[in-house]
Amino acid sequence: MKSQTLVIVESPTKAKTIGQFLKSGYKVESSYGHIRDLPKSKLGVDLENNFEPQYIIPVKSKKRVGELKKLAAKADKVILATDEDREGEAIAWHLSQALKLETRAQSTKTSESTNENSRNSHGLADSHRVERIVFHEITEHAIKEALQHPRELDLNMVDAQQARRVLDRIVGYKLSPFLWKKVQRGLSAGRVQSVALRLIVDREEEINKFQNQEYWSLVAKLKSEEGLPAGAAAKEGEFVAELYRIGDKNLDKLEFENEARVKKIISDLTGASFRITEVERKETVKNPMPPFTTSTLQQSAAQRLGFSAGRTMRAAQHLYENGFITYMRTDSFNLATEAISAGRGWIEENLGAEYLPDAPRRFKNKSRLAQEAHEAIRPTKPNLAPENFSGEPEEVKLYNLIWRRFIACQMNPAIFDALRVEVLAENKGVVPHHLKANGNTLRFDGFLKIWTTKFEENELPALKRNSEAKLLEWLPEQHFTQPPARYNEASLIKTLEQYGIGRPSTYAPIIYVIQARDYVEKQQGRFLPTEIGTRVSKVMTENFSEIVDIQFTAKMEEELDEIAEGKREWRKVIKEFYDPFTKNLAEKYETVADKAIVNEPTNEVCGKCGKPMVIKLGRFGRFMACTGYPECKTTKTLKEPAKMTGITCPKCKQDELVEKKVSRKGRARGKMFWGCNRYPDCDYATWTDPTKVPPVYDPVKEAEAKVAREARIARQGSASAAGGKEKHASRDKKK
């Protein structure tokens, strides 16, 4: 009988791609993700038995597990080919357990006792029937190379994943009931997500406390006529220079706090002479950025494509599983020698030798855990340029980004000609005033030919040292200091990475969870904490400061990394966290008042039972509720106060536009819009912020939009009716 090897991966798409490379003697199947997990209905961690996880096979996975068991029983050998990170290693281990496969795992624990305990807890026998292979890209060469070098299961990586799972489960399942009792039912807490929420809430508090400060800048418009050809255009020789020093004192940004200070300087320099005292020319270079890691890919996709982190990772997953890019969860800058060679070949052939450095570019890893075997995110076939790539629109856009970043990282730098000019303003009886002008022009585009980046060019005229300049006019400008910007996805991911919070696989889930829980909402692409999110963050900060402490969370991540390296035992790490945590939790149950922080008294009484009404906090903000609950379930919506803009309504021109929030159910709930304060007498409304873009009312377009809306509603009604008839017909047929 012909021997057969069963290869198991997580994804059916990945199985299909690998199946194209492995023909005779191989059968490639998918587990459809995790086939074992902690139960949803309970904690699932035995706190009295050294934090032993109580894994179950979910109902949705039982059929698949049964099918894989039968296939494994018939196979001569089973190969576990799940992803190379901790999650993939854990999936492989769970498969070995659920399918009762015989395997030998290599453990590198630091002591004999720890090693023995670990082997017992993993329940692995001593046999070579099962092999583990890993690869960074799904190509024929990579798969066949991996098959030549199988390894054992890495139990250190499995333990690191188990530790994170157990840690997060303890925090979530222990803290959520506390929030139900002390704040509101239905709330939940997460370990890393709570830190991300705190960052957003703290930033909002900074913005609310911020006081704008006025300041002025002063620029002189000058002209140098020396060296100009006869008949030169009037504007030739003109340039602007900014005042930056008076006497020996360098001016800071906020030096001129009002217009009077600026006018005094202009008065002092009336009739002054202006002389160019320094002309410094130099060459500056701008080097290409490293290839993508998970976080930088998510940041660039957010900035350049408007993709959310989740959207980016879904598209990247498809590209990886179909064999177009390398593994998309990585914090390594490493690149395979063959890939660099192929990229350099494309550059020389398509752009020319002047764009190719003498030697390949290598980038130093920032993460101490970025292993040499792991790579950055790059195209698997550098010769497949974006214009020749076809696929789903999102995948095409993301592939274009990844390919260009990879090719650009192996190109020569961009070269700029920089010019710095010093101008001295002198007037009798006044200390010297110093001005400066900076020029910048692109001489050679280098990597910018592939990786387009915004930059400003400022070409100065041909100025000569010790030549005179003529003052054409002063250009004073008023400014106001600005508060820190709210986080968007790119800046939040960047901040989490800088603080060492989370890892490549966790950024997208973190952002998804805090939005799904309605703790934050997006407005114009930036995160604002909701009222309930602010309350939850406040309770967590005041009572569980370590959980939401940035340094503490970063330290926990480092300890998880040490578990993955075999330097720490995961149960000890959990115990060191759990003992003080559970003690503090018990104390807070006694000292924090039940729901006192959200049940605000009012002067209103219930219209049904006559009992007092209080203000409570729900998922979508504050509302009134009867104190007779649950016997009386009367609630009342609290109308949010409208925020006046001071901008006249362009339709009725009788009142101003106000900022409001969508209160109806649906996808737009909570979204900001601007409408006339005379509503419903005037129904003008817009999604565009009128304080940034002037509002426009076009009666013709308004009438056309109204007709289109009515037609759409009619179509939806017809479709609903048809769908209803179809359902009834189907039901009648079954009867």
Cα gap 304→291, rounded to integer Å: 16
Instruction: Tell which residue, 2, 127, 152, has the closest CA to residue 75.
Output: 2
Q: Which residue has the higher pLDDT, 184 or 273?
A: 273
User: DSSP per residue over 452-501, as a string?
Assistant: ------BPPP---TT-EEEEEEEEEEEEE--PPPPPBHHHHHHHHHHHT-
- Least confidently predicted of 404-408, 551-555, 690-694: 690-694
Cα gap 313→307, rounded to integer Å: 10
- Least confidently predicted of 397-401, 605-609, 720-724: 720-724
| Crossing angle of the two packed helices 191-209 and 155-182, in degrees rounded to 10 | 50
- Least confidently predicted of 142-151, 694-703, 709-718: 709-718
The confidence score (pLDDT) of residue 23 equals: 84
- Least confidently predicted of 99-108, 154-163, 256-265, 337-346: 99-108
Q: Which of 174-188, 273-287, 583-597, 664-678 is predicted most confidently? A: 273-287
The domain made up of 165-210+485-591 has a fold known as Topoisomerase I; domain 2 (1.10.460)
| Contact status, residue 122 vs residue 89, Cβ threshold 8 Å | no
* pTM given for the model: 0.81
The confidence score (pLDDT) of residue 725 equals: 55
- Least confidently predicted of 133-142, 257-266, 645-654, 659-668: 659-668
CATH (residue range 5-153): 3.40.50.140
Q: Do strands 468-480 and 214-223 pair parallel, antiparallel, or not at all (unpaired)? A: antiparallel
Mean pLDDT calculated for residue range 393-405: 97
Question: Exactly one of 26, 215, 327, 399 is catalytic; which is it?
Answer: 327
Is residue 327 part of the annotated active site? The answer reads yes
Contacts of 482 (CB under 8 A, 6+ apart): 212
Banded pLDDT at 719 (limits 50, 70, 90): low
Superfamily of domain 214-287+415-480: Topoisomerase I, domain 3 (2.70.20.10)
The confidence score (pLDDT) of residue 122 equals: 55
Other Cβ atoms closer than 10 A to 13: 17
Mean pLDDT calculated for residue range 603-613: 92
Mean pLDDT calculated for residue range 148-155: 94
The confidence score (pLDDT) of residue 379 equals: 98
- Least confidently predicted of 170-184, 537-551, 655-669: 655-669
Computed over every residue of the chain, the mean pLDDT equals: 88
Domain 294-412 has CATH 3.40.190.290: no
With a cut of 70, say whether residue 463 has pLDDT above it. yes
With a cut of 90, say whether residue 105 has pLDDT above it. no
Dump pLDDT digits (tens) for 626-678: 999 889 999 887 766 668 888 999 999 999 999 887 765 555 556 778 899 98
With a cut of 80, say whether residue 726 has pLDDT above it. no
Mean pLDDT calculated for residue range 587-602: 79
In angstroms, how far is CA 296 from the centroid of its own chain?
Answer: 9
Banded pLDDT at 728 (limits 50, 70, 90): low
In the DSSP assignment, the letter for residue 303 is: I
301 half-sphere exposure, CB direction, 13 A CA radius: 28
In the chain, what percentage of residues exceed pLDDT 70? 89
Cα gap 653→636, rounded to integer Å: 33
